[in-house]
Each structure stands twice: as structure tokens, then as C-alpha cells.
Amino acid sequence: MLNYTIRRLMFTIPTLLFISFVIFLILDMAPNDPTGNLPMTIPPEVREKIRISLGLDSPMYVRYLLWCKQFFINEPLNLIGEWFNVCIGACEDRLRVRSWATRSPVVDLIAERMPQTLWVVGMSYVVSIVIALPIGVISAYKQYSWFDQVGTFVSMVGFSIPTFFTGVMLIVIFSVWVPNDSIFWLPSIYDTTHQVTDWPSFWFQMRQMVMPVMVLALYNAAQLSRFMRASMLDNLSQDYVRTARAKGLKEKTVLLVHVLRNSMIPVVTVIALSVPQVFGGAIITEQIFRVNGLGQLLIIGIQGADIPLVQTLTFVFAVLIVLFNLVADILYGLLDPRIRYD
Amino acid sequence: MTSADNTQVEAKNRSLWGDVWSQFRTHKGAMLGMIVFAIILFGVTAGPFLWKTDPQYLDIRAKNTFPMVSCFFTGSQMAQCFTDPTSIKFFDPDAEVLERIKVSWAHPIGTDQLGRDLLAQLLQGGRVSLAVGMTAMLLSLVLGTVVGVVAGYFKRLDGPLMRATDLFLALPLLPLLLVIIMLFRDTLRNAFGPETGIFLLIVFIIGITSWMQTARIVRGDVLALKEREFILAANSIGTPSNRIITRHILPNILSPIMVSATLGVATAIITESALSFLGLGFPSDFPTWGRLLFDGTTFIQQSPARVIWPGLAISLTVLSVNFIGDGLRDALDPRIRGR
């Protein structure tokens, strides 16, 4: 298993390098000009100087290698330096990946936005698992009962309605139609400057998190409960279930210990595999509820043609995908003794 | 034997597609989905001919008209509201005056802030959304099938093609879609005009970023088919590879292709609306469902109906297509069919 993990990890490095190159190539092929958004009154020679100061005069491969050096060597060194408060090498004038729009290091911008996204995405993930697993288990155990029929239909609906529509509908219902002073009224804009200090402010934090979290959670729960149901159904018809019942185990033990544990194997990998998807979905949710997280940062970067920011952020998303694919594969091997990679 | 007997015997003949159809009909959700999808398809193709209001016409005096549905909230005046909508007044508790509720049969589901008719826009926008969905699906289907068949059939190309598929699966697609649209929008707009340029761009990028699942499924099926006796027989009589693929392999992998086609339409429609919703799709004067929804969110306080209609249209289409896909999967699976 360890061998396999190491082999896979070795394989991720070229994959990630290649992906970063593809992203860089796409951004570079683009016929747009980072000085295009500047005022028309700037004379062409000054414009040319701005382009040179952004490093745009050097050839493509030089800029790519420079980005690689900044992202893979300088930024980690800087992070280590900051954590342990030490100075490694020339820490003062080390070149970092800088955003063109704000002139601040991209990694700092990402670190600033990360907590908001992680809170919303993480909470929604927990909520969706808590909703989906019982629904999947019950609807598989009582197959074709009314609960199963309703559950299947609802998960189909939840799976089909795009998150931007559910989000907007929740705003219409809970922020527009429900009167302002009602206990059910929820703020439609997520206030990230809000500090939790006491119970009322905690209550406010909870209320502003309800809608963004629920939008993502419902969409995930719909998918997860379908997987859970299918996986439970596969296991319920196995011979070992009959054996367990025949030797007189309680139904509860059969269902929750024998069947559930076995049917969790594919579901756990699905949970791991869809983490990057959820981060992608958060782009839209953050746009609806004005959460200033990573997704919003990406949209701002794209609109401002801020190439270093977009490049780094897209690459971070790619790292998430590759990483969680790896995690899913390894989890599968760890959980299922029938699967051996070596 | 009489001729009557003959027809009786023929009537009992069962074809593959007859079986599939009879299995499909037992799936209630799929049938309902098909009816809803047919209605939507008819609405967006024939609708603009029946409802002749120009979606771009600015009827500025009728701006922010409410949908006729709001008549249900006028209480005792409900009947009058439906027969003579312009005469209705209601008491506004905030302003403490009698106000005219702005509804009219000329705009049955209301207008936007510039007085453009929402029904006409919805019909027009549906055309674009469905056209994008179908064309992008076709593109990704062709790409996926070609990659899958080639990878499955020719052993030497299997490795590189599947590595490429894995690589595409590892790309963060939504961010990349946004980036590509943002960067190439202006060039294509200059080359093909504002509408065709964006249409081509969106169809192209949705197509080339959604073929991977089809390719994987098709490859798996081709690999299994290649070991079967009839392929061996075809090989032994010297059938060239391209004919084996077109005559023997493609017809046998039709069912997974059809299922991924239906699901592909659904994802393509959602992706297009998501792009439009983020403000990076079609321009505002060229309505699609996603664009209408995006434009409506700004006016969500005044008229929530403006986001509900396009959102409902998207959701109903995707839901019906998903149900059709579900039914098709069951109907095309020989292990389920006939039980």
C-alpha cells in the first residue's frame, strides 16, 4: 500500500506540472492585453513600459519557468519562514507571485479568502453527509415504499435544479417574502467582517450561513443519497446478509454494522472525489450570496485580466482535484480488503 | 394459411426497439419527462411564431409589469383583475395609498425594467439555451465516442488517449471555462459577430470539456466487445478495421451513447446558464435562460417573478431530460428489460 501511495505521489508531480503548463499556455495564447483596461490617455510608450514592468517582454518559457520558481520554491520557503519566524536565504527581496491588480502577493490574497470558503464549503459538506446517509439507508432498506419513492424523486429534483436557481429562490423566499422582523428572515448578503464574540453575534453568524450552506448541501445531498441507496441495495442482496440474519443477529446489527459498513466503501470514495466539484460549485454560490471567498476572488481576477492571480488560483483548484483523486484511490484500497494495488 | 393468420403472426414479432419502447413506457417519470420536454421543445420552436411580440421591443410605458399570476393575491377583486386588468387598484400599506397593480394581458408574465416582454424573451432564450445544449452535446458525444472507440480498439493508442482523458478530468473545468471565455470573447466577436461568435465559443468549450465520461464508458464497452466471437469472425474473413467499427462495434455500443447523450444535454444547459449567470455568457440583448435569470437577480426585490420564470424553465428542462435518461438507461439494459 505504501509502495503504491509513493508511486502515485511520484506520478502526481509531472501531472501537476503539465496541468500548470496547460493553464499557463491557455492564458498566454489569449489575445488580450493586461493594459487594455487602463485609461486611453496613457501614451503608447508608457503602456509599453508598463508591459515591461509586468515582465511581459520576455519569452513564454522564461515567464513560465519564473512562475514555477516563484510558486514551487519561493512561496513555500516564504511560508516556512513566516511560520517559524526565521529567515531562509534572501528572505527580504525574494520574488513572489504578485497580483497585477493589487500588487500584493497572490498567496496572501488566497490565504485571506480561504477561511470564508472553507467555512461555507466545509459546513455544507458536513450537512449534506448528515442529510444524505440516513435517507439513502432508509430508502434502500424500504425499497419501493413511499419514503423511497419520495426520496428518489426529491433527490432527482435536487440533482437537476442548478445551484444558482436554488440560491436565488431561497433569497426570494427568506429575504424578500418573509418580513424583516420575522425569526425566519435571513440575510441575503454574507457579512465576512462579522466577528463572533458572544451569543447574539454567534446567532447572527449561524443565520447568515444557513442559506449558502443549504444551497450547496442540498445539491450534494441529492447526489450522495442516490449513491448511498444504490450501494446499500447492492449489499443487501449479498449472501453474507442472509448468513447474518440466519445466525440470529438483530436486524439493527445486520443493517447498521454489516451492510452499512460495507456499503460505505464506494460512498466514501465518492465523497472524496466530489470535494473539488464542491469547490467549483462554491464559485457560483459565493457569487449569489456575496461571500468574498476564493470563487469571488477568481471572478474578480478574471474580470480584471489579472493573469498571475488567475493562473495561481486555477492551479490551486487543479491541485485539489488531483489530490482528492489520490485520496479516493488510497481510501478505496485501505477500506476494501479485496482491493490490493501491489 | 389465410392472410388473416399471417398478419396475426407478424403482429407478434418483436423488434429490439419495440421492446425498448414498451419498457420505456413503464417508467412513469421518463414518460412524464418526455411529455414535458416535448412541450418545452414545441414552445421554444413554435412559440415565437404564435406569440408575436418582439423580445427586443422596448415598451417603456409598460416597464416592470407584474405577471398575471399576481391577480390571485388581489383578494375580492380577483375576477375583475383577470377580465379587466388595467382597472385594478389595491391598498398599499407602506405608502398608505391606493395603487394600481400593474398587470396586463399584453404581457402575461410581465416585463423587465425596460419594458421588454418576458414571455417573448423566455421563448427566444429557450431556443438559444436548447440549441447550445444540443450542439454542445453532439460535439462532446462525437469527441467522446471517437476517443473511446479508438482507445478501446487500437491497443497502441489506448495508453496515450486514456492518459489524455485523465488529464482532462484533472483540469478545473469551471474556472478554465470562465478564463477561456473571458480571454477569447472579443476575438471571436470580431470574427463572427457578437451572437454567432459567442455561440460558437460556448458550444466549443462546453463540447471539448465534457467528453471524458462518454469516452471512458465507450472504451470499456469496446474492450469487452472486442473479445466476442462475432468480432473474431469478422476479423477472420478479413473485414477491415473501419468496417468492423462502423458495422459491428458502433451499433452495439449505441445504448451507453444514447444515455450519455441525454445526460449531456442536461449538463450542457446547466453549464451554459451557469456561465451566463456569472455574467460571462451571451450579451444582455441576446437572451438565454441563464442570462434572464442573471439580469433578474438585480430586481429581485421588486419583481421576484423575473428570476422564477427562467429558473423554472431551466430546472424543468433539466429535470425532464434527466428522467428521460433514467428511463432510457433502464429500457436499454437487457438485464432489466422484460422483467
Residue A32 burial by Cβ neighbours in a 10 Å radius (0-12, 13-18, 19+): middle
Helix (H, G, I), strand (E, B) or coil at A216: helix
Contacts of B29 in chain A (CB under 8 A): 153, 156
Which residues touch B298 (CB under 8 Å, ≥6 apart)?
A: none
Quickly tell me which residue has 505521489 as its cell: A9
Check if A321 contacts B (Cβ < 8 Å): yes
Give the CA count within 13 Å in the CB-facing half-sphere of B251: 8
Tell me how close the Cα of A329 comes to any Cα of chain B, in angstroms. Answer: 14
Give the CA count within 13 Å in the CB-facing half-sphere of A52: 6
Is A203 a residue whose pLDDT tops 80? Answer: yes
pLDDT value for B319: 92
CA B264 to chain centre: 8
Contact state of B270 with A322 under an 8 Å Cβ cutoff: no
Mean pLDDT of A146-162: 89
Is A153 a residue whose pLDDT tops 50? Answer: yes
Check if B187 contacts A (Cβ < 8 Å): yes
More confident position, B292 or A304: B292
Tell me how close the Cα of B208 comes to any Cα of chain A, in angstroms. Answer: 14
pLDDT value for A103: 80
* CA pair distance A221, B97, nearest whole angstrom: 47
Residue type, A85: N
- The mean predicted confidence, pLDDT, of chain A is 84
Of the pLDDT bands very low, low, confident and very high (cuts 50, 70, 90), residue A199 is confident
Percent with pLDDT over 90 in chain A: 10
Nearest-Cα residue of chain B relative to residue A25: B180
Contact present, A285 and A120 (Cβ < 8 Å): yes
More confident position, B97 or A262: A262
Contact state of B171 with A321 under an 8 Å Cβ cutoff: yes
Mean pLDDT of A98-105: 81
Tell me how crowded residue A199 is: count the other CB atoms within 10 A of its CB.
8
More confident position, A48 or A165: A165
pLDDT value for B82: 72
* Nearest CB to B172 within list A30, A157, A317: A317
Question: Residue A216's closest CA among A286, A124, A93, A88?
Answer: A124
Question: Residue B195's closest CA among B119, B101, B142, B131?
Answer: B131
* pTM for this entry: 0.84
Check if B177 contacts A (Cβ < 8 Å): no
Of the pLDDT bands very low, low, confident and very high (cuts 50, 70, 90), residue A93 is low
Distances (CA, A) of B15 to A113, B30, B162, B297: 60, 21, 36, 51
Interface test with B, best of A8, A11, A150, A164 (most B CBs within 10 A): A164
Contacts of B273 in chain A (CB under 8 A): 162, 164
Helix axes B289-297, B118-153, angle to 10 degrees: 130
Contacts of A18 in chain B (CB under 8 A): 167
Tell me how close the Cα of B175 comes to any Cα of chain A, in angstroms. Answer: 6
Contact state of B277 with A287 under an 8 Å Cβ cutoff: yes
CA A248 to chain centre: 45
Question: Residue B284's closest CA among B135, B136, B112?
Answer: B112
Question: Residue A263's closest CA among A234, A238, A242, A243?
Answer: A234
Contact state of B319 with A15 under an 8 Å Cβ cutoff: no
Check if B240 contacts A (Cβ < 8 Å): no
Contact state of A19 with B167 under an 8 Å Cβ cutoff: yes
Check if A249 contacts B (Cβ < 8 Å): no
More confident position, A32 or A335: A335
Contact state of A27 with B179 under an 8 Å Cβ cutoff: yes
Check if B304 contacts A (Cβ < 8 Å): yes
Tell me how close the Cα of B253 comes to any Cα of chain A, in angstroms. Answer: 24
Check if B268 contacts A (Cβ < 8 Å): no
pLDDT value for B1: 45
Contact state of B173 with A280 under an 8 Å Cβ cutoff: yes
Contact state of B167 with A18 under an 8 Å Cβ cutoff: yes
Of the pLDDT bands very low, low, confident and very high (cuts 50, 70, 90), residue A146 is very high
CB pairs under 8 A between A and B: 122
Check if B11 contacts A (Cβ < 8 Å): no
Contact present, B261 and B255 (Cβ < 8 Å): no
Contact state of A160 with B315 under an 8 Å Cβ cutoff: yes
Encode pLDDT of A44-69 as tens digits.
888 888 777 777 777 788 888 888 88
* Nearest CB to A162 within list B173, B180, B314: B314
For the residues of B49-104, what is the DSSP string, one character each?
HHS---TT---GGGTTPPPGGGGGGSGGGHHHHHHSGGG-EEEETTTTEEEE----
Q: Can you list the positions of beta strands (E) in A36-92?
A: none
Of A75-79, A109-113, B147-151, the one with minimum mean pLDDT is A75-79
Tell me how crowded residue B197 is: count the other CB atoms within 10 A of its CB.
18
Mean pLDDT of A20-31: 80
Contacts of B297 in chain A (CB under 8 A): 168, 288
Check if B251 contacts A (Cβ < 8 Å): no
One pLDDT digit (tens) per residue for chain B, 339 residues? 455 555 555 556 778 788 888 888 888 888 999 999 999 999 888 888 888 778 777 777 777 777 777 777 666 667 777 776 666 665 555 555 555 567 777 777 777 777 788 888 888 888 889 999 999 999 999 999 999 999 999 989 888 898 888 888 888 888 888 888 877 877 888 888 878 888 888 899 899 888 998 999 999 989 988 888 999 999 999 999 999 999 999 988 888 898 889 888 998 999 888 888 887 878 777 888 888 888 888 888 777 888 888 999 999 999 999 999 888 888 887 776 655
Tell me how close the Cα of A181 comes to any Cα of chain B, in angstroms. Answer: 15
pLDDT value for A341: 65
Is A81 a residue whose pLDDT tops 90? Answer: no
Nearest-Cα residue of chain A relative to residue B171: A318
